[in-house]
Amino acid sequence: MIIHETERLRIRNWRETDRDLFAEINSDQKVMEFFPFRRSRCEADALLDRLALTIEETGFGFFALALRDGDAPIGFCGLARTDLEPHLPDGTFEIGWRLAIPHWGKGYVTEAARALLAYGFAEKNLEEIVSFAVPVNTRSTAVMHRLGMRPDPARDFDHPRVPDTHRHLKRHVLYTITADEWTRHARRTD
């Protein structure tokens, strides 16, 4: 299932041939710098199976991100329902991403995320999309800014799934964009 294609990218469901890349990015120290854990191959495979099933069942999730020329996977980007109550109420959708290091700094995440914001607002009629990250994760917060998302400090939170052994990774800043804000931002950037 292809969700969307951009000039350089294909946003699609996961394939069996994507497993190596998915395991690589979920175990890489630098990619996972702001996460309290790395996944083993077995854990990565189990997560990939869950992601693919969620996409098939709901049309939402963290989609495979592949180069349009050749369809080689480079990471993921997606829209997913959060389960972080009471910090984010049920029904909140987040946009998130993860990319293999050789593909950093090329604008791929911003390109894919713009397409997914359009998908979420124009096709799925979402009212708001959020994103969150550890405050020092400036690569991700820079993408949020480029997407037209704005920080909402009143909604910053301590991530409940980050263990106390990693206190420096608990605090997360929250960025948000509404359908109306997205429409105004899209007009300015076109």
Query: For the CA atoms of the chain, what is the radius of gyration?
Result: 16
Domain boundaries 2-189, corresponding CATH code: 3.40.630.30
Residue 11 predicted with pLDDT over 70: yes
* Predicted pLDDT of residue 111: 98
Q: For residue 183, is pLDDT > 70? A: yes
Give pLDDT tens digits for 23-37: 999 999 999 999 999
For residue 64, what pLDDT is reported? 97
Distance (Å, whole) CA 185 – CA 129: 14
Query: DSSP readout, 138-190?
Result: HHHHHHHHHTT-EE-GGG-EE-TTS-GGGGGGTEEEEEEEEHHHHHHHHHHH-
Mean per-residue pLDDT, 108-126: 96
What does the mean pLDDT of the chain come to?
95
CB 87 within 8 A of CB 157: yes
H or E element in which residue 117 lies: helix 108-118
Q: Per-residue pLDDT averaged across 40-56, rounded?
A: 95
| Residue 9 binned pLDDT confidence (cut-offs 50, 70, 90) | very high
Domain definitions of the chain by residue range: 2-189
Digit-coded pLDDT (tens) for 50-88? 999 999 999 999 999 999 999 999 999 999 999 899 999
Instruction: Label residue 190 by pLDDT band (50, 70, 90).
Output: low
Residue 97 has pLDDT above 90, yes or no: yes
For 125-167, how does the pLDDT look when each residue is reduced to its tens digit (9 = 90+)? 999 999 999 999 999 999 999 999 999 999 999 999 999 999 9
Give the model's confidence band at 1: pLDDT under 50 very low, under 70 low, under 90 confident, else very high. confident
User: How much is the pLDDT for 188?
Assistant: 76
Q: What is the pLDDT of residue 31?
A: 97
Q: Which of 112, 160, 103, 159 is nearest to 134 (CA)?
A: 159
The pLDDT score that the predictor gives to residue 185 is: 83
pTM: 0.94
- Please state the rounded mean pLDDT for residues 85-97: 95
